[in-house]
Chain A
Amino acid sequence: MGRYISRQLASIIPTILLSIVLNFMLLHAAPGDPARVMAGKDNPSEEQIEAIRKSLGLDQPLPVQFWKYVKELAQGNLGQSITYKQPVFDLIMQRLPATLLLTVTSAVLALSIGTLLGVIAAQKSGRPVDSALSFSNYALFAIPSFWLGLIMIVIFSSKLGWLPTSGMRTVRADYTGWRDKLDVLQHLVLPVATLALVQIPIYFRITRASVQLQQREDYVTTFRATGIPEPRVFRRYALRNALLPTVTVFGLGLGFVFTGAALVEIVFAWPGIGRLTLDAVFRRDYPLLLGVYLVLAIAVSVAVLLTDIVYALLDPRIRLR
């Protein structure tokens, strides 16, 4: 197991390095002087530009600059946000909990519902239930998350008045303790529902295909032939094996969740990474934008690594390969 983990670990390092290189290249590919880009578009003073140029070492050859950039990164220094006048790293860390709350809750919900529906569809393979479920899942997967969010707000907040329209807490209410938690929960319902709905198809598709595949396997036929009752064959053997791929998809799906979450956060004014990204885009806050991207790339790589390890724990065949 130790060898497996170290091998997987070695495989995500290039991914992180690639992200860093891409980030560095983008900074230099941007039209104009990188120092001017880093300083933002609203007429930075010459001293500011000079300071940035010095800190980035822009007068030195590219490899030297890259080395400096990596060294700064290693110390957790992603630069200073232009609009917030705070270190980028701190800004991201402040917003991360809200985004995690949204993404993890919705991913777990989607995983449960999608897997359940996928199993049902696979068992009724080829029948109207299967066709109906498959069609609705395609339809669901075709809905842009931000649009669904808007529609949710119109129906459940504006027309029915059941839930708050936006934000994470009621403004100026200053609740504490359990009342505060309840308040956050109320604000959480719509964004989580939106994000969960658009993710359900991912788990539905993989589960349906995987269950169908397992039911055709030789060992299942053998169990059937030995007279083990069908529900038992299915629940004890086929289903357990069929659910393994969902674990991997859960890890790989995280990139998708962050994407969906960013757009949903914007619609619901949820104070997470997505809003931060949007602000950075609108205000041309490049250090912030590049920082968000890098942190996300690293976070997703680590998440994929963790899923691989979980997968290996669940399925010994993977470790031995």
Chain B
Amino acid sequence: MAESLLTNEAAVLPTAPRRESRIRAFWRPFVASRMGPIGLGILICVALCALLAGVIAPDGPFKLGAPRLIGPGEQGHLLGTDHLGRDMLAQLVYGARVSLTIGLVAASISLFVGVVIGSVAGYFGGWVDLVLSRLTDMFLIIPAFFLIIVVVATLGSGIGYVMVVIGLTAWPTSARLMRAQTLSLRERTFIQALRALGESGPRILFRHIVPNGIQPLIANASLDIASAILIEAGLSFIGLGDPNKATWGRMIFDGRTTILTAWWASVLPGIAIIVTVLGFYLVGDGISYVLSPRSRKVSK
């Protein structure tokens, strides 16, 4: 509901600019949104950490041997060590890989499912719409985090399961947005014309309606990435994360018993989560701004 209300204004399709390149038409209002560029800056930094993890920490995240819980800056450990003497910086940069992977894969899954269900429901209408919309409402109501806990606890907590399960519970918002977009596009002249020309239903749907209506879902996907990262952190915190990966959630969990004597062990991974998630929120805000009618005056 929150999203659908916010994106109602974004659902108005921007008219294609004539002489301006598409990138510039996007970029100028994106910068004008103020939030967008800050978020993008943050995300570039996080992505660089994740990509260069092997360079920043050549020994990997789990190298033992250093003294336990030494503070930031001591003995060559820029951000200190954890309760097993593992380098904090190394774990943080490898954790960035895990968080970004989970966020991107889970959000892609939910985007894909949402687009398919929403566009099919909106295009075909009738009982198909009724059944799919009901299904969407159901998944919107079900407490997703508990479902994820139950699934991961019974089936196993490998990173693959976690990504798929998060993706399969997060799609209802995308589906609702896509359905609304399809309903309005379906009545537009160019779609009517294609239908008159004898173009097949699925072809109209996936070649013409989906590409034209997907923009509001991109802003929403950014929020989905953020929430997937938070969910994974929560799972890791209660011991359901992938045991073979360095994750920020587990670092917080590991560090919580020593938080009074060694704050860095749990405070730093928390900050890493906040900064990354904030980056995705701000980029999402920037994209919604570009798509909203308010930004028209800027792009002209």
Contacts and interface: CB of A to CB of B under 8 A. Distances in A.
A44 interface: no
Contact of B146 (A154, A245, A277): A277
Interface stretch (B118-126, B203-211, B271-279): B271-279
The listed residue with most A CB atoms (<10 A of its CB), out of B141, B142, B155, B277, is: B141
Return the 6 tightest CB-CB contacts between A and B, nearest first.
A259-B145, A142-B277, A147-B270, A142-B278, A30-B154, A255-B143
Interface in A260-311: 262-263, 266-267, 277-278, 280-282, 284, 286, 289-290, 292-293, 296-297, 300-301, 304
A97 B35 CA distance: 41
B11 interface: no
B83 interface: no
A31 B9 CA distance: 47
A135 interface: yes
Contacts of A18: 138, 142
23 contacts: A18-B142, A26-B154, A29-B155, A141-B281, A142-B230, A144-B230, A144-B249, A144-B274, A145-B234, A147-B252, A147-B266, A150-B252, A151-B270, A205-B2, A206-B5, A245-B5, A248-B1, A252-B141, A281-B238, A281-B239, A286-B154, A293-B146, A293-B150
B2 A259 contact: no
Contacts of B281: 138, 141-142
B51 interface: no
Contacts, number: 157
Contact of B2 (A151, A202, A280, A289): A202
A202 B125 CA distance: 32
A134 interface: yes
B226 interface: yes
Interface string A1-36: 000000000011011001100110011011100000
Interface of A: 11-12, 14-15, 18-19, 22-23, 26-27, 29-31, 37, 131, 134-135, 138-139, 141-147, 150-151, 153-154, 158, 202, 205-206, 209-210, 213, 245, 248-249, 252, 255, 258-259, 262-263, 266-267, 277-278, 280-282, 284, 286, 289-290, 292-293, 296-297, 300-301, 304
A146 B35 contact: no
Interface of B: 1-2, 5-6, 8-9, 34-35, 134, 137-138, 140-147, 149-151, 153-156, 226, 230, 233-234, 237-240, 249, 252, 256, 259-260, 263, 266-267, 270, 273-275, 277-278, 281-282, 285
A146 B285 contact: no
Given A14-B134, A15-B141, A151-B267, A26 B6 contact: no
A139 B151 contact: no
Nearest to A147: B270
B267 A139 contact: no
B151 A26 contact: yes
Given A245-B5, A262-B146, A304-B141, 7 more contacts: A138-B281, A144-B234, A144-B270, A150-B259, A150-B266, A252-B2, A258-B143
A154 B273 contact: no
A23 B143 CA distance: 13
A256 B74 CA distance: 41
Given A209-B6, A297-B142, A135 B35 contact: yes
A86 B267 CA distance: 39
B225 to A, nearest CB: 12
Which secondary structure dominates chain A's binding surface? helix
A154 B263 contact: yes
Contacts of A14: 134, 138
Contacts of A280: 153
A168 B49 CA distance: 41
A15 B89 CA distance: 45
Contacts of B226: 142
Nearest to A259: B145
B260 to A, nearest CB: 6
Nearest to A286: B154
A31 B155 contact: yes
Contact of A144 (B34, B256, B259, B273): B273
Contacts of B266: 147, 150
A274 B126 CA distance: 41
B223 to A, nearest CB: 10
A267 B249 CA distance: 13
B138 A281 contact: no
Given A158-B260, A210-B5, A255-B143, A263 B230 contact: no
Contacts of B278: 138-139, 142
A88 to B, nearest CB: 13
